[in-house]
Amino acid sequence: MFRILVSDAISEEGLAPLRKSEQIEIVQKKVTEAEDRLHEFDALLVRSATKVTEELLSKMPNLKIIGRAGVGVDNIDVEAATKRGIVVINAPNGNTVSAAEHTFAMMAALVRHIPQAHVSVKSREWNRSAFVGTELQGKHLGIIGFGRIGSEVAKRARAFGMIVHVYDPFLTKERAEKLGVSIHTLDEVLACSDIITVHTPLTKETKGLLGEKNLAKTKKGVYLINCARGGIIDEKALIPFLQSGHVAGVALDVFEQEPPGDHPLFAFDNVIVTPHLGASTVEAQLNVATQVAEEVLQFLEGKPVTSSINLPTLSKDVYEKIQAFYNLAKKMGMIASQYMNIPVQELSVTYAGTVADLETTYITRSLLAGFLRPRVASTVNEVNAAMIAKERGITYGEKFSDETHGYANCISLTVQGENKTFTIKGTHIPNYGDRIVHFDGFTIDFAPEGHLLYIQHQDRPGMIGKVGNILGEHQVNIATMQVGRQQAGGKAIMMLSLDKPIDDALLQKLTEIEDIETAKRVEV
């Protein structure tokens, strides 16, 4: 059974595909109400209200995937999740239009004083002269952060006859041209805009982006809108600018603390607010819930997720192409790790032939996870492999080569350890399987599967018989055996595949055979 905790209000209709599966149990409760069952859940679905902290994750040892039914993941400790090998996904475009429309609703409300006028009329007043507004047409709109929502806001602004100015340090010239905007510096946008709206994520760089210093660079009488994340506009810094009238009005959908409680900005009539409603439409909620539900189903079926925050994203097509190499690389990593059972500093992976044209980042992550698995007590997978390697001082890199050793594809892994370097090469043969074709200096051909026994010895007559006898005496059946040697009478190897694993005592007996130099177990 795959258990999902849905801890925020997520569209029931969007979750319907999950309910169809008999393998899935869905529990809809706040985290605080599900304390006694937290350890059971495989998946956690949230919006912005649930704070997915390191502490919460430590209570959820079974958790494999966190789905954010929305865009911003600042309520999720992604680093802590990554460390634990938990995939974090979001629904990046399901609420874009709703958030852009809400921004526009706030803009219109701000310059036409709609909320204030509404309250006044409902208080039985009829004071038309108190609510004279300004038109949007012809006004300069500064958009800070020109991603999905920022660009949708721009489209609507143009329809209203506004002049759009954009600041986004990551926006390429090509994309700006395609979207029909010119890129400006932040100072230019601050200086020329009648209205400024922010649409960035909350990051170290954007926290307090509109603070005391930058607010002072804005036009007198500017209007400000934040429908992105609380804190991009510094709430405290706004107060003197509102008091002096430099800022004519502010619209906030989001707050540094949510809920904001008794906020000092609420004292200003020209500050209008909504309770984080940008994505709160029937359409957006259906979209984001559907997206997240589909991703969780994909994940459950072992297929790649397409909008992960902490994994390279793969389309289904690409995943199908790389899957064979992904499995081969993982096995190669596992074999190398057990064979080189000493501290290692560096892994170098070389791709040749057809595999070199694929999305190798993902394959390398799989290899790294396979390598770390026998060495790490906690869960290690492609989500946290890079982080764990870094923590352990293991560097890794990818290379590409034309040397396929006669195969259509070849993955080569070289492991650099203290005083020893080890190389293993593998290939995937369609409709046949994975083969290891080179092992520590020897050309060989074996399937990387099951209980393997590696023996290095001097090439003498009768060695195979001696090994076979001892294994036979201990009721260990040999499934397959491959041999390789550097030259007749020189160093030679055997790679045996056994029907069951062997214990330390038997391994010791094998190493005591004359002319056997090494015997090692490898489990794949």
Ligand X SMILES: O=C(O)C(=O)COP(=O)(O)O
Ligand Y SMILES: NC(=O)C1=CN([C@@H]2O[C@H](COP(=O)(O)OP(=O)(O)OC[C@H]3O[C@@H](n4cnc5c(N)ncnc54)[C@H](O)[C@@H]3O)[C@@H](O)[C@H]2O)C=CC1
Pick from ligand Y, ligand X, none: which does 415 bind, CB < 5 to 8 A by kind? none
| Contacted entry of ligand Y, ligand X, none for residue 47, CB cut-off 5 to 8 Å set by kind | ligand X
Task: Answer yes or no whether residue 260 interacts with ligand X by CB under 6 A.
Answer: no
* Among positions 8, 77, 168, 235, the unique one binding ligand Y when judged by CB under 6 A: 168
Binding residue for ligand X, selected from 72, 150, 231, 260, defined by CB under 6 A = 72
Minimum distance, C-beta of residue 379 to ligand X, in the bound complex (Å): 28
Q: Is the dihedral of CA 185, 187, 192, 193 positive or negative?
A: positive
Catalytic-residue membership of 125: no
208 binds ligand Y (CB under 6 A): no
**Cβ at position 173, least distance to ligand Y in Å:** 14
Residues near 286 by Cβ (< 8 Å), separated by ≥ 6? 11, 13, 14
- For residue 145, state whether it binds ligand Y (rule: CB under 6 A): yes
Residues 85-114 that bind ligand X (CB under 6 A): 95
Q: Which of 71, 322, 329, 494 binds ligand X (CB under 6 A)?
A: 71
Among 253, 295, 382, 440, binds ligand Y (CB under 6 A): 253
> Which one of ligand Y, ligand X, none interacts with residue 144, CB within 5 to 8 A by kind?
ligand Y
Shortest reach from residue 481's CB to ligand Y, in Å: 56
Q: Which of 84, 229, 438, 521 is catalytic?
A: 229
CA distances (Å), 173 to each of 1, 84, 168, 362, 508, in order? 49, 38, 11, 29, 66
Does the footprint of ligand X cover residue 70 (CB under 6 A)? Answer: yes
Tell whether residue 146 is a contact of ligand Y (CB under 6 A). Answer: yes
Task: Assess 205 for contact with ligand Y (CB under 6 A).
Answer: yes
CB within 8 Å of 488: residues ≥ 6 apart: 459
Q: How far is the CB of 198 from ligand Y (least distance, A)?
A: 8
- CA 387 and chain centroid, separation: 12
CA 330 vs CA 126, 131, 371, 378, 413: distances in Å? 73, 67, 7, 17, 11
Query: Of 67-75, 117-125, 241-249, 349-357, which segment contacts ligand X by CB under 6 A?
Result: 67-75
Binders of ligand Y among residues 261 to 300 (CB under 6 A) are: 276, 278-279
Q: Is 47 in the site for ligand X (CB under 6 A)?
A: yes
Residue from 17, 201, 417, 433 touching ligand Y (CB under 6 A): that is 201
CB of 229 to ligand Y, least distance (A): 4
Whether the CB-CB separation of 497 and 452 falls below 8 Å is answered with: yes
Query: Any catalytic annotation for residue 177?
Result: no
Which residues 6+ apart lie within 8 Å of 97 measured at CB?
A: 152, 283, 284
Q: Is 258 a catalytic residue?
A: yes
| Residues 413 and 332 sit within 8 Å (Cβ to Cβ) | yes
Assess contact for 51 and 75: CB atoms under 8 A: yes
- Among 68, 276, 438, 457, the active-site one is 276
Q: CA of 137: how far to CAs of 133, 194, 250, 265, in Å?
A: 12, 11, 19, 28
The answer for residues whose C-beta is within 8 angstroms of residue 269's C-beta and 6 or more apart is 116
By C-beta, is 201 or 433 nearer to ligand Y? 201
> By CB under 6 A, how many residues form the interface with ligand X?
10
What is the maximum span of the chain, computed from C-alpha positions, in angstroms? 109
Residues 25, 40, 188, 258: which is the catalytic one? 258
Separation of first and last alpha carbons in the chain: 26
Instruction: Please report whether residue 72 would count as binding ligand Y according to CB under 6 A.
Output: yes
Which burial class, exposed, middle or buried, applies to 445 when counting CB atoms under 10 A from its CB (0-12, 13-18, 19+)?
middle
Distance separating alpha carbons of residues 199 and 146, to the nearest angstrom = 7
Distance CA 433, CA 446 (A): 10
User: Least distance in Å: CB of 188 to ligand Y?
Assistant: 13
280 binding ligand X? (CB under 6 A): yes
Evaluate whether 495 touches 426 at the Cβ level (below 8 Å): no
Residue with tokens 């040999």: 478
Which residue ranges make up the site for ligand X (CB under 6 A)?
47-48, 70-72, 95, 276, 278-280
Which residue ranges make up the site for ligand Y (CB under 6 A)?
70-72, 95-96, 99, 144-150, 167-170, 199-201, 203, 205-206, 227-229, 253-254, 276, 278-279
Q: Which residues are catalytic?
A: 229, 258, 276
